[in-house]
Each structure stands twice: as C-alpha cells, then as structure tokens.
Structure 1
Amino acid sequence: MKIATYNVNGVNGRLPVLLRWLETTKPDIVCLQELKAPQEKFPVEAINAAGYEAVWRGQKSWNGVAVLSRRGTPEISRDRLPGDENDAASRYLEVKINGLIVACLYLPNGNPVPGPKFDYKMQWFERLDAHAEMLVTTGKKVILAGDFNVMPTEKDVYKPEKFLKDALFLPEVREAFHHLLQQGWTDALRYLYPEETIYTFYDYFRNAYQRDAGLRIDHFLLSGEVLPHLKNAGVDKEVRGWEKTSDHVPVWIELDI
C-alpha cells in the first residue's frame, strides 16, 4: 500500500498537476493540504474520474484538507482537532480506512514571530500533542501525515543560519515536534534515511528548486503498530519542476499491508 501526502497549494488551480501526479504514481491513499477552496468547490468529479473516492473539509481562500482513496471511501472519525471549539480553521481530518487511522493535518505556519499567528501555532501544537498521545496509546495502526510546518533538525533546511528566527525552526517549535516523537511516533523518512538530504518544499523565489535550496516540513509519523510494516519512503521531487506546480512536493511511504 502506498500512502502519500501533498500540500497542493490550491486544489483547483493545481488540478492538472494533481491529476497528472495521481496518474503517474497511483498512490492508494493521499492526504492533501491547503485546498484553498470552500466545501462546495472541491473538484470531486475530477477526483472520482481519476479513480479515487474523497472526503474533505474545505475553507474559502485558505487552509482545507482532504483524503483520497483507491481502497474504498474513507470513514471520517474527526473533521477538526479537539481542544478548541472556536477554532474554525480547516486543518485536520482523521479517517479510518483499511484497518488504518490516517490523520491528515496542516499545522499553522506561525510567522511572523512574535505575534498572534505564532501563539496560535503553539496552541495548535499543544492540542495536537494531546490528541496524538491518545491515538498512539490505542494500540491501533495510526499515521499522522501532512504539512507540519516544522524543520525538525539542521539536516532539514538548506541554510539553518537563515532560519534561526523563523517560526518553522525556532527551538520551541522543534522541541514540540520532538516531544511528539517521544510519545512513540516514528518519523518515517528519517527512520529509513537518517543522513540523506531530503526536502519537501522549495520557495517560488530565488530559484530555490533549481538550487536545491529546500526545507523538509512535510512528514509521516507512524505509530508503533505501523512501523514494522514500513518498507519504503521518498519524495517525488520532479513534480516541483512541473508547470504551475505547488511549492511543496509529494511525500510517500510504502507499507506491506
């Protein structure tokens, strides 16, 4: 089973890229972030025609998450992160499918620092930490996948010194990510490739993709029950070079389930 996560950066504007990638790589399950489309504008007919069923939580102009599947319709268990009933942002979608619990998430960026956006990011991280701890102790096969907006280590950013005051790289943000791992989650790509340079995001400016000046901010975290099934993982870097593409690249894992 191949599972992918992809911050599509506008599902309608990038639809030709998304459909081309789906046809080329044929993942079984896909988590999408940053749909930038209200609920009624999600391109479900095109997704269905590509062979996928879908569930999604849209939002006008910003945010939005979706899960696509070639293995039957995902069953939504949560369409928001617990802990704040007043948070209307579409950033979390948790589904059950084929014996897996898959949580598709889009963690806040947090810039500029300091300020309310950074405070919101850390509050969201606290809520994620609490919910993830519950999930990892269920004894079920659980995957957290998506755009975490965190570079966990210096290996995950092309020039660490340039991001010392960035909300994606501040010590307290990285510490929050590592605290999450300490619950019993495994960073799938770093588990298989502990020393390799892997990036999942290339800015549109300053020829970042051409210079390989990237960041690794899109992650798969696996519960202990999923880890023994992990066989492969990687990124589809070439998609970043396609016309009218997202600034993120798809990330994927393969499980022997």
Structure 2
Amino acid sequence: MKIATFNINGIKARIDALPAWLDVARPDVAILQEIKSVDEAFPRELFEDRGYHVETNGQKSFNGVAILSRLPLEDVVRGLPGDDSDEQARWIEATVVGKTALRICGLYLPNGNPAPGPKYDYKLAWMERLQTRAKALLADEQPALMAGDYNVIPQDEDAKRPEVWQEDALARPETRAAFRRLINLGFTDAFRARVQGPGHYSFWDYQGGAWNRNDGIRIDHFLLTPQAADLMTDCGIDAEIRGFEKPSDHVPVWVNLDI
C-alpha cells in the first residue's frame, strides 16, 4: 500500500496539478493538508471518478485536511481531541483495511509564528494534545501512522540554511523538543529510517528563487507506530513536482507498507 501526504496549499489553486500527480503517482491513500475549502465545496467527484473514497475536515479559506483512499474509510474522526473550543480544521483520522487494518491520522500542525507569542503558545499546546493522541495510538498496539505538514524542522540537516531558522517557530528548541518527545514514545520517522544526511526537503518558499537554489526545509513527516514501521518497505519525497506548473510550495512524501 502506497500512502502519501501532500500539503496542496489550496484545492482551487491545485485543481489541475493534484489530479495530474495522482494519475502518475497512484497512491492508494493520499492525506491532504491546507485544502482551504469547506466540506461542501470540495470537488470530491474529481477524485471519486478516479476511484477514491473522500473524507474531509474543511474550513473556509484556511487550513482543512482530507483523506483520499482507494479502500473504504472506516471510523472517521474529525478534530484532534483535547480542546472542544478549537475550531481550526487540522486533524482527520480513519481506518483502512488491506491485509490488516491501518489507522491513518492526517494532520496540519500549526505554524506558530510569530514566536514567542499567542500563535506559538497554540502550536505548543496543540503538540501536547498530539502527544496524548499518540500515546493512545501506541496503546492500541495496531499499525497506525500520523502524517502531514508538521511545521517542524527536526534537525539542522533538515534545512539548507539552518542558521536562518533558529528563532523561527518551526525550529525553536521548544518545537524540536516536542517533536522528539513524540519520537521517543516509540514512533519512527519513516523518511529518516530510510534516508540519511542533508539535502532532502519537502518545502521551498515561493520567494527568492528558493526552488532553483534548493533552499528548502523538511517539514512534512510520517511517524509510524512500531507495528506500522515493521511493515514499511520504502519511503521517499517526490521533490521534482515542485518544478511543475502551478506547484504547491510543498511536495508529496510517501511510504510503502506491506499491508
């Protein structure tokens, strides 16, 4: 099973590019972030016609997450538990059943800038709630993953110019510590389990010729429970599509699981 995560930065802006990538990459499951659409306006027929089941957790003009799956999506949950007052659409989870069941959690973690400040406080509080959900996933002892745009640069090697990110919410020590706490629960960073060293990125800013200079950062991640990590056969980044027409500033990251 090929599972991909992709921050599309607006479904309207990617109405041609996203289907074109799906037709070539053919993931069994695609986890989308920043759909920037309410549920009713999401063009689900475009993907249903390609054989995908579609579930969304949308929000007008901002945020929004979705799961597209060739297999039926069961037990769908919208919203990260822990704060009933949080109205931002940043979390969706569902189960797909291949040879075995897999719990898929799609997330769009808050950016947190400017930091310090209220937005950064929200980011760290959101990560605390994510920690609680992660512990519950591990307690289930079933294959599960949490994938999406984490807005976290885990280490200096995950940025072309780490020095410019030191005070940014994506790389501040508190952010990295919260991410490490997730990993240390027993999760596997799928990409780093397969590929080591610098120069591997999933985001390039639209400004300043970042793509042409490969001035990128790695902020889109798959975290796998031990049961899911045991099933992983490969993981990669489709970096080349950043150079296509009307691209997102992110590119897809994917894993293959024997499931």
Residues 88-237 of structure 1: matches in 2 within 5 Å?
88-98=87-97, 99-237=101-239
Unpaired stretches in structure 2, ≥5 consecutive residues: none
Contact 1:33 1:146 in 2 (8 A): yes
Residues 200 and 214 in structure 1, CA contact (< 8 A), matched pair in contact too: yes
Q: Secondary structure at the match of 2:251?
A: coil
The separation in 2 between residues aligned to 1:194 and 1:187, in whole angstroms, is 11
Give deviations 1:16-51, integer Å, cap 9, x for gaps. 000000000100001000000111110101111122
- Partner amino acid for 1:43? P
- Partner SS, residue 239 of structure 1: helix
After superposing the two structures, state which structure 1 stretch, 190-199 or 52-61, moved more.
190-199
- SS of the equivalent of 1:253 reads strand
1:85 corresponds in structure 2 to 84
In the alignment of these two chains, the number of paired residues is: 256
In the TM superposition, residue 148 of structure 1 has moved relative to its aligned partner by 0.3
Alignment correspondent of 2:27: 27
Q: Is the 8 A contact 2:190 2:235 kept in 1?
A: yes
Letter in 2 for 1:113: A
- Cα distance, 1:242–1:76 mapped onto 2, change above 3 Å: farther
Distance 1:172 1:115 in 2: 13
Question: Counterpart of 2:2?
Answer: 2
Residues 158 and 198, structure 2, Cα contact 8 Å, conserved in 1: no
Secondary structure of 1:226 counterpart: helix
* Equivalent position SS for 2:23: helix
Would you say the 8 A contact 2:147–2:221 is kept in 1? yes
Residue 197 of structure 1 and its aligned partner are, at CA, apart by 2.4
Whole-angstrom CA distance in 1 between matches of 2:252 and 2:229:
20
- Which digits, 9 at most, give the CA deviation of each residue in 1:98-143, with x for residues without a partner? 1100000000000011211111000100000111111112111101
Deviation at 1:229? 1.0
Q: Is the 8 A contact 1:201 1:217 kept in 2?
A: yes
Structure 1 residues without counterparts, runs of 5 or longer:
none
Q: TM-score if structure 2 supplies the norm length? A: 0.97
Q: Which amino acid aligns with 1:38?
A: V
Q: Once superposed, what is the RMSD of the aligned Cα atoms?
A: 0.9
In structure 2, how many angstroms separate the alpha carbons of the residues matched to 1:156 and 1:15? Answer: 29
Q: 1:77 offset after TM fit, Å?
A: 3.5
State the Cα distance separating 1:175 from its structure 2 match: 0.4
Contact 1:106 1:146 in 2 (8 A): yes
Q: Please say if residues 76 and 93 of structure 1, whose CA atoms lie closer than 8 Å, have aligned partners that are also in contact.
A: no
Query: In structure 1, how many angstroms separate the alpha carbons of the residues matched to 2:12 and 2:55?
Result: 16
Q: Which one-letter code corresponds to 1:78 in the other structure?
A: V
* Partner Cα distance (1:147, 1:48) in 2: 24
2:147–2:222 CA contact under 8 A, matched in 1: yes
Calculate the TM-score normalised by the size of structure 1. Answer: 0.98
Is the CA contact 1:55–1:76 (under 8 Å) kept in the aligned structure 2? no
TM-aligned CA deviation for residue 196 of structure 1: 4.6
In 2, Cα distance between equivalents of 1:175 and 1:113: 15
